[in-house]
Amino acid sequence: MALIPVVNEQDEIITYKERNELLQEDIYRIASLWIMNEFGEILLAQRAATKLKNPNKWTCIVNGTVEKGESYEDNIIKETEEEIGIKIGGGDLPTPILLAKELFVSNWTHFVAIFFVRLPKSTVFVFDENEIQATKRVTKEELGRLLENFPEDFVK
């Protein structure tokens, strides 16, 4: 099992733990990827029902926990290939852009690095059923309405 960096409030590594040893007070690192196509549609994913955290909730298309030896960028490139079957940042597909990194506090506390990439609607994805049970494309306006009217359906 891979070790997860536990960090302080400045995002400095203080120790490493197995995933199943993480406590609610531990701060760890997450990378997230938002994909938009040329028509302004955002690709959303519904997390698999078997996920320990936030099962059946809607979120951005790719999320990953940063492991020992990985940067946020390394993790999002690896997770994108594992979860949706494409290799970004090389060949014909662009490198994701880091939009922000912030401390996120909910039931668990983590730094999240939010990445963005624009891909053609014709891009073929191969979804990992252990990670994603459904997908949908929405406009920014539709996403805003969904978040406003059905916040309980989304990862918080």
Q: Residue 25: inside a domain, yes or no?
A: yes
Whether residue 13 is contained in a domain is answered as no
In Å, the largest CA–CA distance within the chain is: 43
The set of residues, in sequence order, having a beta carbon less than 8 Å from that of 136 and lying 6+ positions away, is 43, 44, 46
If residue 27 lies in a helix (H) or strand (E), which one and from where to where?
strand 27-36
Is it the case that residue 9 has pLDDT exceeding 80? yes
**Pairing assessment for the beta strands 132-138 and 3-7 based on DSSP bridges:** unpaired
Average pLDDT, the chain: 92
Q: How many domains does the chain have?
A: 1
Task: State the Rg of the chain over Cα.
Answer: 15
Q: What residue numbers bound the domain in which 70 lies?
A: 3-7+19-153
In a domain, 12, yes or no: no
Residue 109 has a CB neighbour count (10 Å cut-off) of 15
Any idea what the CATH number is for the domain that residue 140 is in? Answer: 3.90.79.10
CB 107 within 8 A of CB 62: no
Q: How far apart are CA 131 and CA 137, in angstroms?
A: 17
Question: Tell me: the pLDDT tens digits for 110-148?
Answer: 999 999 999 999 999 999 888 899 999 999 999 999 999
| pLDDT for residue 5 | 98
**Is residue 79 domain-resident?**
yes
Match 């997908």 to its residue by tokens: 135
Looking at the domain assignment, is residue 44 inside a domain? yes
